[in-house]
Each structure stands twice: as C-alpha cells, then as structure tokens.
Amino acid sequence: MSPRGPRERAIYADHAATTPMREEARQAMLPFLGPEFGNPSSLHSHGRRVAAALDEARECVASALGCEFGEVIFTSSGTESANLAILGLALANPDPRRNRVILGAAEHHCVIETRGLLERLGYRVEFAEVDRWARVDLEALEPRLAEDVLLVAAMQANNEFGTVQEVAPIAERAHEAGATFFCDAVQSFGKVIFTASSLGADLLAISAHKVGGPKGAAALYVRAGVRLQPLTVGGGQERELRAGTPNVAGIVGFAAAIRSFASSAPLSDAARSARDAFVRRLLEARPDGLRFTTDHGPSVLPGFCHLRFEGVAAESVLVVLDQLGVSAGAGAACSSGSLEPSHVMQAAGLTSAESKEGLRFSFGHSNSEQDGVEAAARLVEAIATVRRAARHSGRL
Ligand code: PLP
C-alpha cells in the first residue's frame, strides 16, 4: 500500500496543522539567512538594515490587521502569542477583585492549558459552553459575565471543526462587564476578512506557518492601552513585551506570505474547490457509518471537512490513509498521535468514544479539485481496509 505511480500521488490535506511555505516567503527570507545577519538592536549599518526590514514586516502585519504599527508584537508561535495575551494580562492585572477568567471550552490547547498557571496565580478559570459546532453559546455565557471577570477568550475559527463564530457579540458582552477580550485568529487569518477592531479584540493571535509562512514567527495584536506583563525579560525588545532577539528571517517570511496571499487569488478558492469535490465524492460513495460534523456552508472555513466513521478509531484510518499517500489530521496537530478523545468534540456534545473517531481534512492553496476527488476515493478505500482488518481480528 505504499504510494506508487500517478494514482498514488501524495495529497496533503492537513493545512490546518501547517501549510507548505509560499515561494515568495522563502525568497524573502534568504538574505536574512545569509548576508543580512545583523541584530536589529545594533546601531551600526548591519543592524539598521535588519531593523528596517523588521519595521517593514510590522507595517505589513499592522495593515493586514487594520491596526497601528506599535500594536503588533512579534512572537515565535500562535501558542506564545496566546500565552502572552492571557498570562501577561493576568500578571499585569492591578485589580484583585477581577479574579475570574472565562475560556471557550473548544479553544486550542494553547489557551485551555493556561488554566493551571492562572489557578496558581489565584484566578478562577471557567469554560464557556459551546454548541454542537463548537461555537460559544452566547446565552449561556451572558450570566457568567460580571465585574469580577478579567478576561474572556473566544477563537474566530475552530481548528478541528473549522467553524467560524461571530466573535464581535462575545467581545461586546465581555466589554460590557469591563473584561478584556482575547481572540485566537490563528486559523481564520487569511481565510476570513476581518480587522482587529471589527472583531472587538483587545488582544489577537496569528501565526505565520498557517498562511504559507515559516514556522517560528507569529504575532500578537495588543490594543493600545492594554497592559501586559512580559513572560520573557531581558533586552526590552518588542516594546518591552517580549525580550529576546527576534527571528528576523521568519518575520520577514511571515510578511512576504501575507503580501503574497493578499495580492493573489483568495487563499480560499483552491481550498474550497478541493473540499467541495471531496464532500461530493463522499456523498456519492456513501461509505458505511459516515457522519459529517458540520455542513460545509459559509460558517465553516473553506478548506475544512470534519467527519467520523461510526465505530472506527481515527488513528487507524490516518495510518492507512498515510500508506495510501494522503496526509490528514485528527484534530489539533499537537494532540494527533495520542489516543485522547478530542476535547472539542466532547465539548460539542459527542461521547468519549465518538470523540476518538474525528478526522479532519483541511485543504489549502496547494490543492486542486482533483486532490479532493482522489482523497475521498482513498478515504473510502482506507475505511474498507480498516473495517476488514477489524473483522479479521474479531473487533467488528
Ligand atoms: N490556535 C489555533 C486555533 C491553532 O490551530 C493553532 C495551531 O494549530 C495554534 C493556536 C497554535 O499556533 P502555533 O502552531 O503557531 O503555536
């Protein structure tokens, strides 16, 4: 079953985990991996040239987010941006009466896992209920909001289901209670049109490697006036919010990826046609036990399809799919490979057993419609193989 011949061409359908780097990003980075090696904090010409490139990249990110130059803080990852937003706010909080933090129950692990540290800092952490598409239930959230809430966190697009939620009303309710609002826009950036202020975000995270940029570069929008305590201290870089010499090549590549998708066909066109062809083909084939988690309309990211097969563990399917030349995911990249049920699926009301069955296909700018058709055919084949193996071993 190893990939062979043109039929077995490799298909990458895991763009939610990471994306192939755009050529424009790679080209833009090269000088900063070679002759332009200066430290942007240095006063000499080597440093000044690199500092100018960093300024240009910050201008580009600020323009993409519709914010001011000084409101963009570069970090190393979406994870670091979310950690800095949540923990930095908690550490800087001058008001001991604001001692509750509300996180959406289906947020990425980089948000959910701040709970332990928040509790050690004396905060009470609560999880906001979500609906069956993993969107925060506004009615259930409202009674939780009061003057003792420091922060509300809600993501724009869920990284497992791909569902896009209206975050502006959540931000509005948070603000009415005097709380700060953090939005994780790591999955939606480049796929959904927004600005930091259209979402009502006080703090917002994006990451380069999800949009055709390199790994190791990301940004946090910090609205002017919001106070954070840095999590790294030292040289005072990034407006004293993130000490450490920045990854200039990565940041320049991030900006180049943004310019490239902003000036070419919408990032979503290729993704949508591959995903739609994938779904159509599956509906024609009707493999046994197929359950789509969401529909594939406008409230779901264009390249996403989340589904499961009743009674079939996601891991077994992913292994066979890989042998058939298809790379897909089971949820958050960092939790793939473990048998833990998905916390997103559980929060959305699926049972613990069902939450081990979730498969995520995320198509992107590197895919074609034919990829969608092929991926569906190979998925049907993979399911048949897994079911056959289970019957032989007496598990079905
Ligand atoms: N938030 C969401 C919604 C994500 O999908 C991811 C990555 O999968 C992250 C945060 C973390 O981003 P990074 O991989 O840059 O740390």
Give 234 Cα–ligand 1 centroid separation in angstroms: 26
User: Within 125-234, where are the H helices?
Assistant: 138-141, 168-176
Q: What is the pLDDT of residue 215?
A: 98
pLDDT tens, residue by residue, 211-231 = 999 999 999 999 999 999 999
Model confidence at 154: pLDDT above 50: yes
Average confidence score pLDDT of the chain: 94
Residue keyed to tokens 């990854």:
247
Sheet with strand 304-309: strands edge to edge: 290-292, 304-309, 359-362
Separation of alpha carbons 44 and 225, rounded Å: 32
Nearest atom, ligand 1, residue 157 CA? 3
For ligand 1, the distance from its centroid to the CA atom of residue 186, given in whole angstroms, is 6
Q: Is the CB of 237 under 6 A from ligand 1?
A: no
Taking alpha carbons only, the member of 34, 115, 147 closest to residue 343 is: 115
Could you tell me which residues come within 8 angstroms of residue 105 by beta carbon, excluding any fewer than 6 positions away? 127, 128, 129, 130, 343, 347
Please give the pLDDT value at position 339. 61
Higher pLDDT, 269 or 207: 207
Express each pLDDT in 317-328 by its tens digit.
999 999 999 999
Q: Model confidence at 338, in pLDDT bands (50, 70, 90)?
A: low
**Mean pLDDT, residues 43-60:** 98
User: How much is the average pLDDT of 123-150?
Assistant: 98
Check residue 76 and give its pLDDT.
98
Mutate to test the pocket of ligand 1, among 19, 21, 79, 156 (most ligand atoms within 8 A of CB): 79
User: How much is the pLDDT for 332?
Assistant: 47
Confirm whether 334 is a catalytic residue. yes
For ligand 1, atom 10, which residue shows the shortest CA distance? 78
pLDDT at 335 over 50: no
Residues 252-306 have pLDDT tens digits of: 999 999 999 887 766 678 899 999 999 999 999 999 999 999 998 889 999 999 9
Ligand 1, pocket-test mutation among 80, 103, 187, most atoms within 8 A of CB = 187
Q: How many CB atoms lie within 10 A of CB 389?
A: 13
Report the candidate in 290, 310, 395, 396 with the shortest Cα–Cα distance to residue 353. 310
pLDDT band at 6 (very low <50, low <70, confident <90, very high): very low
Q: Is 188 in the pocket of ligand 1 (CB under 6 A)?
A: no
Ligand 1 centre distance from Cα of residue 192 (Å): 16
Contact by Cβ (8 Å): 223, 196: yes
Which ligand 1 atom is at minimum distance from the Cα of 80? 16
- Three-point CA angle 39, 245, 65, nearest 5°: 105
Question: What pLDDT is attached to residue 331?
Answer: 64
58 CB-near residues (< 8 Å, 6+ apart)? 69, 72, 74
Residue 41 C-alpha to ligand 1 middle, in angstroms? 29
Max CA separation in the chain (angstroms): 71
Ligand 1 centre to CA of 185 (Å) is 9
